[in-house]
Structure 1
Amino acid sequence: MALAKLGVVVLDCPDPRTLAGFYAEVLGGTIEDNGEWVDLKVPGGQQLAFQAAPGFVPPKWPSPEQSQQYHLDLTVEDLDAAEAGVLALGARVLDAEDRSRTWRVYADPAGHPFCLCAC
């Protein structure tokens, strides 16, 4: 028997509205803006939340000194098309070494690492 149930994944960031908008474009969903806290209700998926964090310093990838701490794996049908889409929305490539893999690593506009993974 579980002691708890996952409620929401929360991403600290300098601008919750902007980062929620980025992920809404990537994943779809509805944004609920509560000021310093913004929720993204993703259809058929886990809710994400974005919290203002004064002095936010993005994680480094890869870096043992500044661990990424977590990342999101986003499943896509077409890696190339999804990559073009997230780059147009402000993501940046973190790992371009092996383009033959079934996953690619990016940073969102606030610097959080995430992966696009072929399904």
Structure 2
Amino acid sequence: MFPQMRLRAITLDCADPLALAAFYEQATGLEPHPKSDADFAGLNCEDELFIGFQRVHDYRAPSWPDQTVPQQFHFDFAVDDLDEAEARLLELGASKPDHQPNEDRWRVLTDPAGHPFCLVKG
């Protein structure tokens, strides 16, 4: 029998951990970790999942949909209204790539560090 594993944290590489944590804090309403600093910042989730942001020198943002610099991962966020959520996130500093594979069902945005993430209906 294998030991039980529980996902505790997801950490994103970036150039500015505090700025990226602030973007996701505003986007999700999650609480900032009290020991966040310029090299590593984090957000606490209610279910004990931790989202971390770590400084990487010479960070290169993913180039989605081109794979010159692969995306490596992405978040999916469920939303009630795609248009409303998209507009709010663009105001917070997200970007919207031209390539949208199925804009009626989901939207692909990128965070201020260039990581793609999706907004999904429902």
- The residue matched to 1:92 in structure 2 has which SS? coil
User: Are the aligned partners of 1:28 and 1:42 in contact in 2 as well (CA < 8 Å)?
Assistant: no
CA-atom RMSD in angstroms: 1.7
The answer on 1:8 being equivalent to 2:9 is yes
Give the ranges of 4+ consecutive aligned residues of structure 1 lying more than 4 Å apart after TM superposition.
none
Higher strand share: 1
Q: Secondary structure at the match of 2:71?
A: coil
Q: How many residues align?
A: 118
Identity of aligned residues (%): 37
SS of the residue corresponding to residue 9 of structure 1 reads: strand
Q: Aligned pair in 2 of structure 1 residues 43, 118: CA closer, same or farther (>3 Å)?
A: same
Spell out the pairing of 1:39-118 with structure 2 (5 A cutoff). Answer: 39-44=42-47, 46-94=49-97, 95-96=99-100, 98-100=102-104, 102-118=105-121
Is the contact made by 2:42 and 2:50 (CA closer than 8 Å) also made in structure 1? yes
Contact 1:27 1:42 in 2 (8 A): no
Per-residue deviation, residues 77-118 of structure 1 (Å, max 9, x unmatched)? 110110000000010002346532x10101100000000111
TM-score (norm 1): 0.89
8 A Cα contact 2:18 2:37, kept in partner: no
TM-score relative to the length of structure 2: 0.87
Q: Is the 8 A contact 2:43 2:51 kept in 1?
A: yes
CA distance 1:45–1:85, change in 2 (3 Å): farther
In the alignment, structure 1 segments of 5+ residues that lack a partner are: none
**How far, CA to CA, are the matches of 1:6 and 1:44 in structure 2?**
10
Q: CA 1:45–1:62 in structure 2 vs 1: closer, same or farther (change >3 Å)?
A: farther
Displacement of 1:44 in angstroms is 4.5
Q: 1:54 to 1:79 in 2, by over 3 A?
A: same
